Structure 1
Amino acid sequence: MTGGADVWAGSEGDGALFEGRHGGLVGREAELAALERALAGSRLVTVVGAAGVGKSRLAMAAAGRRDLAPWSGTVKVRWHDGVPVDPSALAARILRALGSAADERPGRPAPVALPAPPPPAGGPLLVLDDVDPVHAECTRLVQSLLMRLPALRVLVTARRPLGLGDEHVLRLAPLPAADPADTTGPSPAAELFLARAAGRPDAATELGAVEQVCRLVEGVPLAIELAAAQLGDTTLSELTARLESGLCWLTGAGSPVNRHRSVRSSIGAVHALCEPPVRTVWRCLSVFAGAFTETAAAFVCEGLGVDPDAVPPALAALAATGVLQPDGETGTAREVRHRMTRAARDFGRERLTAAGETTVARDRHARHCRSVAVVAETLWNSGLQRQAARLVLDEHPDLLALVRRATRHPALAEAAADSVLHLWFWWAAHGHAREGAAHLLRLLPLLPTEGAAKARAQWLAAWLSTAADPATAGRLLDAAWPTAVLAGDDALVGRISHAHGTLAWQRHDLHTAAEHYRHAAATIPEHAPAGPPAAVSLAALAIVQTHTDTDAALRTARRALARPTARDDTWARALAHYARALADHRAGRTGRARHRARRALAHLDPRLDAPQAHRALRRLLDDVDHPGRTGPDAARRLRPPSLPTQRSTAAEDPVHR
């Protein structure tokens, strides 16, 4: 057994034996009750959890409950790295402290432990705190002691269970923080923060900021306490800003245990126990901002010389110690995803920088993001649009991280812009136009001055900006037009016309808008990638025609639905069905309009299938069922759709550019 150990014995079993930086537990009442029940009925109980979640404190609190405890005395063992101790000598010291006269025979393997009944009341309690540095040795020691002393109870704290057959495992999770919309009162995480920040009035009055701090530190009690201790030198808003950039800077004084003095020390203690290949995988994976699959992890790690076959066991090891957490539902057909905790990610990035591997890891991550965007667009164009939306939702944090890195490292700008361009459907059809436009406007100055990629980026930025900034949209379309014409890119020419149609619609120039949409529908080739199909332009034309000629609008909508691309495009079909229902409504055929809108809604998932079109159909149905709510000027409200962050009287129109 490596690592020295101190042994304390206390016949009274009071809480003074188990010192800590702060007395008492906040937000852990249920876990404490569960641990007390487990100790009453089991001989071996292990409290497991990630670094800093409060395993030691919970164990000490339970061991110190002399008034309710069914044990006569307590013995605590604390490990000290760097001081070798002979396992037999340590066992003998523990036995003497327990008051046992048993003879410890060094070198003899312990027998296999069999399931045992609950121990009799009045026996001793052995507390083995933080056994991770000597996990295997402690497993053998505990097995031997339980066999020799039938009345003994053992309480262990570790980042993973011992793995013995009669072990009761209590998993300790971080404290939950409240959702921003929750106004029912402080969450358990916020309660702990407020308790440690007592005497600072800004903490008590700014509960929303406190909850944000707790979310940033992911509810880890150690980080919450260290963050609360900063309020003597900083304000809540300044604290939040610093935490958004990282967690490893959090430090505090007063703990006798080194790993409790800072977030970096806490995570560093985990890192020190990892094998070198696992450490390499850890720092490689720190480039991910969100959840990732095993395939993605292997791809990024391969850039730093890690064999792909070595990645799965490394992921398992990191998950066992709490560095990685499962993301999403388990047991489904979707590939398992992992998410690195913020503190572990910050620590890994520090190690990645120290190793001089940041550039390579970022390049591999950028290639991964671009491939994800290509796959998502392929799924969309193949008619698997719900799968495309799910993929973007899963990978969104990393796609956003790529764009942010590209603004600081221009070498990544081309990969970032290409990723944003492949996700045109997400920005347009799913109501994220403002976000997509902001990304492209930041990246455009970093791209080469000429070329098709620059022109496509200008078109998409313009298309997504038509509602928020028509002037900028017009300038970008004028810049993209010559390149598209000289290159003979009919798809880009047609899509520029579509964007011009939306700008004309924005000006209430319905005639010009109709001409541009008609030209776009006639110019965009069938199945042309990298943008909306001609069926979307036809659907937009049909909606414009509902102002002037409802019969023509119905004919145009039917043409849109008859296009080959519309059969596999939920967005194009939803727009065309909306145009038909709107035309019937404007023609006074309310019954038919209601029927069309309901049929269209029955086939749409509001989260994954063109959410804007879904909202538009809902509002149209409300207009049909409650005509008095819209007033006589309802027809004049038909304009391009609102942006996700705005409420507009034109929001029922789903033709997002």
Structure 2
Amino acid sequence: MFGEYSFNNRQADSADGAPGADPESDSGSAAGAAAPGNLPPEPPGFVGRENELAELHCLLRTRRLITLTGVGGVGKSRLALRAVADAEQARPDGVWWVDLSPLRDPALLAMTVAHAVGLADHSAGPLDEELCAWMADKELLLVLDTCEHMVSDCRHLVGELLQSSPGLTVLITSREPLDSPCEYVVELCPLPCEGPDSDAVALLRARALAAAPEAAAAFDDPERAALAAQVCRRLDGIPLALELAGARMRRWSLEQMAERLGARFDVLADGRDSLLPRHRTMRTAIGWSHELCEPVERLLWARLSVFTGDFDMAAARAVCSGGPLSAARVERVLGGLVAKSVVRRTQERGAGARYRMLDTIREYGHDWLAELGEVRTVADRHAHWYAALSRAADRGWMGPRQVDWYRRMTAEHPHLRRALEHLLGTDPAAALEMAGALWFFWFSCGHVHEGRGFLERALRTAPPSGAVYAQGLWALGLTMVLQGEMDTARELGDRCTAAAAGVADPEAEVRAVHLRALSLLLPGDPARALELAGPRARSRHTGPADGAGRLLCRLVTAYALCDLQRFEQAAEEARGLREACADLDERWLRAYADYVLAVAAFGLGRPEEAARHVRAMLSGKRLLGDRIGIALGLDLLAAAVAALGDGELAARLLGTGHAWWRTVGRPQMGSPSLTALRERGERQARAAIGDAAFESAFLGGAAAPTG
């Protein structure tokens, strides 16, 4: 249903944004809709596990909570991904993957899950309660990957979700069970090693051939194949250990591998008695790979452990260079770690590759970083790199690279969190500057709860004056507007005005005006909003004409004029705003100018023109994952279509809009004028096709995927 409006993240990343795309295409069936979900791409080379897969497929259809446990490196995440990616595991409301390995603050758990499943809730209530309410009528499969570092928090959240959502199935991967009453635990054992045809030998062979194609002869010879099985047994059939060993065959023969591996284990095994055998094997195999690295590779391995998620080359150079590792040398050394299977190259994002270390390998590297005494130094570099990236994104947001910045900051989200957490404990002023610079990420990209939390924490500890303080107040006020706390937002606007005046910052002054005006407009006071943000008021400020503050004030002005039914003036203001945004090659605000043009056209009795403008608006909004914008646009398009006489399509659009509003949490943002517009469209649609047909079409539209 409504393939054109299945604005999931993958579509947003690939959409061409061509204006005028027909929103009614494929509106009558689900054939064109993308299957909801966010599964990461599966790495190539999956080997064995037929019995385990069969068991998981059965359990995922008969049990509601399954936990896949096992030692680090045994392949829990790979098996889980292979199992849930099977077409038989599809669910009407999607299959959703939540990677918890980068998460360190349990307070962000519900937020991370909500964002992964497409819930960008803007209400002020507890997010776990909103998540439970949103999932209550859903039938979906949720995978929480890598939970061992927050077992109790996951147990609590999963218990609440399962209790409130009878259609929910949860698959956990963790080194230890949740110990939940309804949990079914599956312990994943290493790969079988007996015989030259075993799965362990097959995996070792595959990784060896990837490193050195000529190694095939070693596995094809029966006597040497038995030696391969011996290597696999020594490594206990643990997939990660086998991958690390296979990568060494770029330089060694199978005989050399067996001899040196045996010597390594003989030396170290007695020193690992405190560990269980398989843990000992994994640590020994990683340690062996570590010793076989060049000293500069070990240094990079240690420093890369600061990245709890995937990272790009620019970040690696900035964070990990120093001493014998020049920035230019990082790329070559990183290539060596990729060749040794210490670092994995993940999917392409934009023009460049991204990289990642598995948790087990990263943990080993972090131990060495501590031995080197560089933990604080590298964490500081990491935090300040992402703070600088946030400032660059702020400067570039209102410009031609806006979509690129949206994609990049979305990719870097785990690192932004980590950087802010570090700075809050070490440099509160830098934390506030970073959190304020990310205003667009909190306000425009659906991270309202998280942004508010970081901003409030930073404002409590940073110096209460200066331009950075004014920016933080404004950004916090924006999050409060989206959560419906208008009185508090206005108070913050007043404080922001005072702070901006203290540093003579015209842009900060205009942004404060915008916050105060917006907090008046949405509850239904367009006249006062116009007094604050209109052309006469703006003329008293000297901020840059193309600055975010002035452009946002123009948007408030245009919509206030619509609310006052001064539609011709509203259209004129919106056209000027659109032209200014087009000159900047900016999309997010330009789409809202299209929206106001549509509202004005609709108010002037030109529904066909309104539909044309709102289609252009939706094309821009889906590029940036702006859920509020998409929901607003669908409501308005429904009203225009209903006015044109197509009650069935209007009902479907209203249903789809309703589904999008549910992901936001505050239908029509509590605005009387937005609510009136939606109700007008519903009345006209019902009048055209009758209540029964309306409800049927509405439910069809509401079933459209929003993830």
Q: Which amino acid aligns with 1:623?
A: A
1:306 lines up with 2:439 in the alignment:
no
Cross-structure match for 1:274: 293
Shift of 1:410: 2.9
Identity of matched residues, %: 24
Question: Quick one: distance in 2 between partners of 1:158 and 1:342?
Answer: 18
Q: Equivalences for 1:239-254 in 2 at 5 Å?
A: 253=276
Shift of 1:60: 1.2
Q: Equivalences for 1:137-286 in 2 at 5 Å?
A: 158-160=245-247, 162-163=249-250, 253=276, 255=278, 258-260=280-282, 264=283, 267-286=286-305
Question: Quick one: distance in 2 between partners of 1:524 and 1:129?
Answer: 77
Cα gap change, 1:65 to 1:274, in 2 (>3 Å):
closer
Question: Quick one: distance in 1 between partners of 2:404 and 2:445?
Answer: 13
Cross-structure match for 2:382: 365
Q: TM-score, normalised by structure 1?
A: 0.59
Shift of 1:333: 6.3
Question: Quick one: distance in 2 between partners of 1:464 and 1:324?
Answer: 38
Cα gap change, 1:584 to 1:272, in 2 (>3 Å):
same
Q: Equivalences for 1:26-65 in 2 at 5 Å?
A: 26-27=51-52, 51-53=73-75, 57-58=190-191, 60-61=193-194, 63=196
Shift of 1:579: 0.5
Q: Equivalences for 1:15-26 in 2 at 5 Å?
A: 26=51
Q: TM-score, normalised by structure 2?
A: 0.55
Shift of 1:553: 1.4
Cα gap change, 1:573 to 1:609, in 2 (>3 Å):
farther
Question: Quick one: distance in 2 between partners of 1:416 and 1:376?
Answer: 16
Shift of 1:501: 1.1
- Aligned partner of 1:467 among 482, 488, 508: 482
Cross-structure match for 1:514: 530
Secondary structure class of the residue paired with 1:449: coil
Shift of 1:566: 5.4
1:352 lines up with 2:369 in the alignment:
yes
1:482 lines up with 2:498 in the alignment:
yes
Q: Which amino acid aligns with 1:442?
A: R
Residues 594 and 621 in structure 1, CA contact (< 8 A), matched pair in contact too? yes
Question: Quick one: distance in 2 between partners of 1:306 and 1:52?
Answer: 32
Cross-structure match for 2:446: 431
Q: Which amino acid aligns with 2:475?
A: L
Q: Deviations over 1:521-547 (max 9, x none)?
A: 445656478x62423321222122212
Shift of 1:397: 1.2
Question: Quick one: distance in 2 between partners of 1:294 and 1:316?
Answer: 11
Question: Quick one: distance in 1 between partners of 2:322 and 2:220?
Answer: 54
Secondary structure class of the residue paired with 1:405: helix
Question: Quick one: distance in 1 between partners of 2:453 and 2:588?
Answer: 23
Cα gap change, 1:514 to 1:274, in 2 (>3 Å):
same
Question: Quick one: distance in 1 between partners of 2:406 and 2:526?
Answer: 32
Shift of 1:52: 3.7
Cα gap change, 1:544 to 1:629, in 2 (>3 Å):
farther
Secondary structure class of the residue paired with 2:293: coil
1:446 lines up with 2:461 in the alignment:
yes
Q: Which amino acid aligns with 2:360?
A: A
Secondary structure class of the residue paired with 1:597: helix
Cross-structure match for 1:556: 573
Secondary structure class of the residue paired with 1:563: helix
- Aligned partner of 1:127 among 215, 218, 227: 227
Secondary structure class of the residue paired with 1:448: coil
Question: Quick one: distance in 2 between partners of 1:378 and 1:609?
Answer: 20
Secondary structure class of the residue paired with 2:667: coil
Question: Quick one: distance in 2 between partners of 1:528 and 1:252?
Answer: 65
1:297 lines up with 2:316 in the alignment:
yes
Cross-structure match for 1:499: 515
Secondary structure class of the residue paired with 1:127: helix
Cross-structure match for 1:570: 587
Residues 478 and 515 in structure 2, CA contact (< 8 A), matched pair in contact too? yes
Secondary structure class of the residue paired with 2:373: coil
Question: Quick one: distance in 2 between partners of 1:130 and 1:620?
Answer: 68
Shift of 1:271: 3.0
Shift of 1:606: 0.6
Shift of 1:401: 0.7
Cross-structure match for 1:417: 432
Cα gap change, 1:271 to 1:456, in 2 (>3 Å):
same
Cross-structure match for 2:354: 337
Cross-structure match for 2:339: 320
Q: Which amino acid aligns with 1:258?
A: R
Secondary structure class of the residue paired with 2:559: helix
Residues 247 and 339 in structure 2, CA contact (< 8 A), matched pair in contact too? yes
Shift of 1:28: 6.5
Q: Deviations over 1:245-294 (max 9, x none)?
A: xxxxxx97355x8315xxx5564444343333222111211112332222
Q: Deviations over 1:327-362 (max 9, x none)?
A: 222xx8612221222222233233323322122112
* Structure ranking higher in helix proportion: 2
Residues 440 and 461 in structure 1, CA contact (< 8 A), matched pair in contact too? yes
Cα gap change, 1:600 to 1:497, in 2 (>3 Å):
same
Shift of 1:114: 10
- Aligned partner of 2:607 among 587, 590, 596: 590
Shift of 1:163: 4.1
1:457 lines up with 2:544 in the alignment:
no
Residues 504 and 512 in structure 1, CA contact (< 8 A), matched pair in contact too? yes
Unpaired segments ≥5 residues, structure 2: 1-47, 56-71, 79-188, 202-212, 236-241, 255-273, 651-659, 675-707
Q: Deviations over 1:449-469 (max 9, x none)?
A: 322211221121112212323
Q: Deviations over 1:565-595 (max 9, x none)?
A: 7542212221111001111212322122112
Question: Quick one: distance in 2 between partners of 1:585 and 1:551?
Answer: 11
Higher relative contact order (Cα pairs below 8 Å, separated by 6+ residues): 2
- Aligned partner of 1:403 among 410, 420, 425: 420
Residues 526 and 560 in structure 2, CA contact (< 8 A), matched pair in contact too? yes
Q: Deviations over 1:128-185 (max 9, x none)?
A: 35869x99xxxxxxxxxxxxxxxxxxx9982416249999xxxxxxxxxxxxxxxxxx
Larger radius of gyration: 1
- The range that moved more, 361-370 or 465-474, is 465-474
Question: Quick one: distance in 1 between partners of 2:346 and 2:662?
Answer: 30
Q: Which amino acid aligns with 1:441?
A: E
Shift of 1:61: 4.6
Cα gap change, 1:163 to 1:344, in 2 (>3 Å):
closer
Q: Which amino acid aligns with 2:447?
A: H
Secondary structure class of the residue paired with 1:338: strand
Shift of 1:424: 2.2
- Aligned partner of 1:608 among 603, 616, 624: 624
Residues 195 and 226 in structure 2, CA contact (< 8 A), matched pair in contact too? no
